[in-house]
Amino acid sequence: MRLTFTIQRFNPEVDSIPHPQEIRLDVGRGMTVLDALIRIKNECDGSLALRYSCRSAICGSCAMTVNGSEKLACRTSLRKELERHGHITVAPLRNLPVIKDLVVDMASFWGKIRDVHPWLVSAARHAPEGVPAQTKARDDANPEFHNVDACIMCGACVAACTVHEVSKGFAGPAALAKADRFLSDPRESPSSIRARLSALQDEHGIWDCTRCNFCVEVCPKDVKPMEAIIRLRRASLEQGFTTAGGARHIVGFTELVEQQGRLNEAIMPLKVVGFAPQGISRIMPLGIKMFLKGKVPNPFGHALPGLSQLQAFIRRVRRAGPLV
């Protein structure tokens, strides 16, 4: 079968902006997008730049945008893409600087991974010569890494992340999932866990995630980064980190529901920004607009019937852990 591929091309030495190129190729049964791209490079246009190595969904280097979604080209079937979309369009990963054609600059990705200190900080004794003693987990420790250790660092989740799209400083799903992996490690020292969580409270940390779920949808290894972020948030609340805006939102939300049986939108913004003049002046313009349009409910509205049952229920859930 002869297929037309639309490939986004960009050579910084001659192009000011990326442009699509159509290339026709005879394809056979069972071919992947990567198989086709390698043949295009070898048979049609040797100047096409792409990254790949293992061809087996292990190294993570062939992640790209195929028909609008982040995929590993080496495990994306041409036939399935054709059946689903009727065409094959290939572009580099989004939201990362393009070096050439399908190759993106992963420097910021690796920088964020480094920022979460992706190594064990163990309380294990040090040998006299300064070399850490063996850090083997106890046989009965049975650590549960929630599959975050399956990450192959392909960058697909970061490219799909809606927060990273608008805020390049966001730590991002892959780095946060990596941080979660060390939280689950029984050899990690408690003080290090606390230090890790503390570092993630800042702007661009765990509370910036909007829980859009795109990182979960595109991850080829089922790492579920968003769930890792939720675990980090839960652990943060358990350790008493409640000053970040996102943490205050959760605490304030649950307090209001517990007190009144419903969310009170008139009080909720104050729960998040507090009573500091700086915070109040930030929300005041929106509050006035809402008030003038009749959108601010009575902050002293009546309690709902059945409130005591709800409160008993919340107390019971609280005993199992923080409400995140």
Q: Where are the beta strands (DSSP E) in 1-121?
A: 2-9, 19-26, 63-66, 69-72, 88-91, 98-100, 103-104
Q: Report how far residue 260's alpha carbon sits from residue 7's, in angstroms, rounded to the nearest whole number.
A: 56
Binding characters for ligand SF4, 200-229, by CB under 6 A (x = yes): ---------xxxxxxx--xxxx-x-xx--x
Contact partner, 57, from ligand FES, ligand SF4, none, Cβ < 5-8 Å per class? ligand FES
**β-pair partners for 88:** 5
The listed partner (ligand FES, ligand SF4, none) that binds 78, CB under 5 to 8 Å by sort, is none
Measured from the CB atom, the residue of 78 and 153 that comes closer to ligand SF4 is 153
For the chain, the straight-line distance linking the first and the last C-alpha, in angstroms and rounded, comes to: 52
Q: Is 223 in the site for ligand FES (CB under 6 A)?
A: no
Question: Which tokens in the block code for residue 166?
Answer: 């608008």
- Among 27, 33, 36, 177, which residue interacts with ligand SF4 (rule: CB under 6 A)? 177
- Per CB under 6 A, the segment of 45-53, 129-137, 170-178, 193-201 that binds ligand SF4 is 170-178
Among 23, 62, 64, 174, which residue sits at the site for ligand FES (rule: CB under 6 A)?
Answer: 62
Closer to ligand SF4 by Cβ: residue 219 or 250: 219
CB-based burial, 268-307: b 16+ in 10 Å, e otherwise: ebbbbbeeeeeeeeeeeeeeeebeeeeeeeeeeeeeeeee
For residue 37, the minimal CB distance to ligand FES (Å) is: 11
Residue 10 CA to residue 105 CA, distance in Å, equals 13
Which tokens in the block code for residue 23? 């290339």
- Residue 92 interface partner, choices ligand SF4, ligand FES, none, CB cut-off 5-8 Å depending on type: none
* Cβ contact 252:246 at 8 Å: no
Distance CA 5, CA 22 (A): 6
Is 152 among the residues that bind ligand SF4 (CB under 6 A)?
yes
**Window 15-44: residues binding ligand SF4 (CB under 6 A):** none
Q: Which does 246 bind (CB under 5 to 8 A by kind): ligand SF4, ligand FES, none?
A: none
Q: Give which of ligand SF4, ligand FES, none residue 153 binds (C-beta under 5 to 8 Å, depending on kind).
A: ligand SF4
- The stretch near ligand SF4 (CB under 6 A) out of 33-41, 74-82, 155-163, 253-261 is 155-163
Q: Which of 58, 137, 195, 303 binds ligand FES (CB under 6 A)?
A: 58
Return the beta strands (E) in the chain as ranges: 2-9, 19-26, 63-66, 69-72, 88-91, 98-100, 103-104
Question: What's the order of all strands across the beta sheet hosting 63-66?
Answer: 19-26, 2-9, 88-91, 63-66, 69-72
Query: How does 224-262 read in b/e, with b if 16+ C-beta sit within 10 Å?
Result: bbbbbbbbbbebbbeeebeebebbbbbbbbbebbbebbe
Per CB under 6 A, the list member of 23, 78, 102, 151 interacting with ligand SF4 is 151
Is residue 106 within the footprint of ligand SF4 (CB under 6 A)?
no
Return the number of the residue (38 or 209) whose C-beta is nearest ligand SF4: 209
* 74 interacts with ligand FES by CB under 6 A: yes
Site residues, ligand SF4 (CB under 6 A): 60, 151-157, 160-163, 173-174, 177, 209-215, 218-221, 223, 225-226, 229
